Structure 1
Amino acid sequence: MTPRALIARLWREHVARYSADIAALVPVLALVAATGASYAWIMQQAIDAISREDMNAIALTPVLVIGATLLRALAMFSQAVLSQGLALKVLRDLQGAMFGKLMLSDFARHAREEPGKLVSRFTNDINVVSEGLVRGGQALIRDALTLVGAIGLMLWFDWVLTLLVAAVFALAGPPLQAIAKRARARTEAAQVQLGALSALLTESFGAARTVKTYGLEARETGRARSAFEERRKIAMRLARNRARSEPLLEIIGGLALAGVLFVAGLRVAGGAMSVGDLLGIVTAIGVATPAARSLSNFNTVLNEAVAALTRIFGLIDEPIEVKDKPDAKTLNLSEGWISFENVSFAYGEAPALSDVTFTIAPGETVALVGPSGAGKSTIFNLLARLYDANAGAVCIDKQDVRDVTLSSLRSAMALVAQEAALFNDSIRANIALGRPNATQAEIEEAARNAAADDFIRALPGGYDAMAGDRGANLSGGERQRIALARAFLRNAPILLLDEATSALDAGSEAKVQEALKRLCKGRTVLVIAHRLSTVRDADRILVLDGGKLTESGTHDDLMRAGGLYSGLARLQFSEPGTMGADLS
Structure 2
Amino acid sequence: MKNSKPMQQERISTPIHFGNLLRLASRPLGWAVATAIGSAALSIAPFWFIYRIAVELFSAQPDMAVVWQLAWWALGLLALRWALMAVSHVLAHTGAFAIQHRLRLAMARRLGEVPLSFFAGRGSGSMRRTLTDDVNGLEGFYAHLLPDMVAAAVVPLAALALLFAADWRLALAALVPLPLALLAQWWWMRGIGGRMREWNDLQKRIANQVGEYVRGVHVVKSFGLDARSFGELATAVRGAVAWVEGYAKDSSGGWVLFTGLLTANLITVAPLGAWLHAQGTLDLPTYVLFLLVAPTALAPLLRLTFALDEQFQRAEAMGRINEVLQAQPSADPVGSRIPDGALDVDFIDLRHRYGERLALDGVSFRAKAGRLTALVGPSGSGKSTLVRLVARLYEFESGSLQVGGMDVREWPLDALLGRLGIVFQDVFLFHGTVRENLAMARPGASDAQIETAARAARAHDFIMALPQGYDTSLGDRGAGLSGGERQRLAIARALLKNAPILLLDEATASVDAENEALIQQALDELCRGRTVLMIGHRLHSVMHADHIVVMNGGVIAGQGTHVELLNSCLIYQCLWRDHEQSRDWSLGESRHATPTRESRP
TM-score (norm 1): 0.90
Q: Secondary structure at the match of 1:424?
A: coil
Decide whether aligned partners of structure 1 residues 298 and 519 sit closer, same or farther in structure 2, where only a CA change above 3 A counts: closer
* Counterpart contact for 1:183–1:241, Cα < 8 Å: no
Specify which of 338, 349, 362 is matched with residue 345 of structure 2.
338
1:560 aligns with 2:567: yes
Are residue 570 (structure 1) and residue 572 (structure 2) matched? no
Does the residue aligned with 1:536 lie in a helix, a strand or coil?
coil
Match of 2:198? 189
Aligned partner letter, 2:242: K
For the 8 Å contact 2:193–2:312, the answer to whether it is kept is yes
Measured after TM superposition, the shift of residue 51 of structure 1 is 0.8
8 Å CA contact retained: 1:369, 1:376? yes
1:85 aligns with 2:94: yes
Deviations 1:343-371, CA, capped at 9 Å, x for gaps: 12221111111111111221110111100
Q: What SS does the corresponding residue of 1:372 show, helix, strand or coil?
A: coil
Task: Tell me the equivalent position of 2:314.
Answer: 305
Question: Closer, same or farther in 2 for the Cα pair 1:202/1:220, shift >3 Å?
Answer: farther
Give the secondary-structure state (helix, strand or coil) at the position aligned to 1:345: strand
The residue type paired with residue 278 of structure 1 is: Y
Distance in 1 of aligned mates of 2:31 and 2:254: 32
Residues 360, 373 of structure 1: alpha-carbon distance in 2 compared, 3 angstrom cutoff: same
Find the partner of 1:203 among 192, 212, 219. Answer: 212
Instruction: Deviation per CA, 1:100-137: give whole Å up to 9, x if none.
Output: 32222221111221101111223443344344434541
Identity score, percent: 30
| Corresponding position of 2:507 | 500
Given the alignment, which residue of 554, 557, 560 partners 1:550? Answer: 557
Greater helix content: 1
Residue in 1 that maps onto 2:368: 361
CA 1:106–1:376: 2 relative to 1, 3 Å: same
1:333–1:396: 8 Å Cα contact kept in structure 2? Answer: no
Structure-2 separation of matches of 1:165 and 1:240 = 31
Q: 2:31–2:88: 8 Å Cα contact kept in structure 1?
A: no
2:24 counterpart SS class: coil
TM alignment of 1:304-323, pairs within 5 A: 304-320=313-329, 322-323=330-331
Deviations 1:153-183 (A, max 9, x none): 1011112221232343233334434545533
Q: In structure 2, do the counterparts of structure 1 residues 233 and 90 end up closer, same or farther at CA, with 3 Å as the change threshold?
A: farther
The number of equivalent residue pairs is 572
Give 2:341's aligned amino acid.
S
Q: Which position in structure 2 is the counterpart of 1:116?
A: 125
Question: Of 17, 21, 24, which residue of structure 2 is paired with 1:14?
Answer: 21
Cα distance in 1 for partners of 2:117, 2:428 equals 18
In structure 1, C-alpha distance between the alignment counterparts of 2:131 and 2:164, rounded to whole Å: 47
Distance in 2 between the 1:299 and 1:19 partners?
22
Cα distance in 1, alignment partners of residues 182 and 350 from structure 2: 62
**TM-score, normalised relative to structure 2:** 0.88
**SS of residue paired to 2:542:** helix
Partner of 1:456: 463
- Superposed, 1:368-387 pairs within 5 Å as 368-387=375-394
Give the corresponding residue for 2:485: 478
CA distance in 1, matches of 2:238, 2:258: 31
1:129 aligns with 2:114: no
Alignment deviations for residues 356-403 of structure 1 (CA, whole Å, 9 cap, x no partner): 111122111011110001111111022122222222111112211122
- How many angstroms apart in 2 are the aligned matches of 1:203 and 1:140? 39
Indicate the residue corresponding to 2:594 in structure 1.
Answer: none
In structure 2, what is the equivalent of residue 45 of structure 1? 52
Post-superposition offset of 1:529? 0.5
Q: Which moved more, 1:186-195 or 1:220-229?
A: 220-229
**Aligned partner of 1:144: which letter?**
A
Q: Does 1:159 align with 2:159?
A: no
Tell me the alpha carbon deviations over residues 195-215 of structure 1, each in whole angstroms, 9 at most, x when there is no partner. 110111111111123223344
Task: Please give the alpha-carbon distance, in whole angstroms, between the structure 1 residues aligned to 2:533 and 2:263.
Answer: 79
Corresponding position of 1:582: none
Amino acid at match of 1:60: Q
RMSD: 2.7
Tell me the amino acid that sits aligned with residue 383 of structure 1: V
Deviations 1:528-577 (A, max 9, x none): 00113321231111111111111111112222336221222122323453
Cα distance in 2 between the residues matched to 1:578 and 1:492: 39
**Counterpart residue type for residue 439 of structure 1:** S
**Distance (whole Å) between structure 1 residues aligned to residue 209 and residue 22 of structure 2:** 34
* Distance in 2 of aligned mates of 1:222 and 1:500: 33
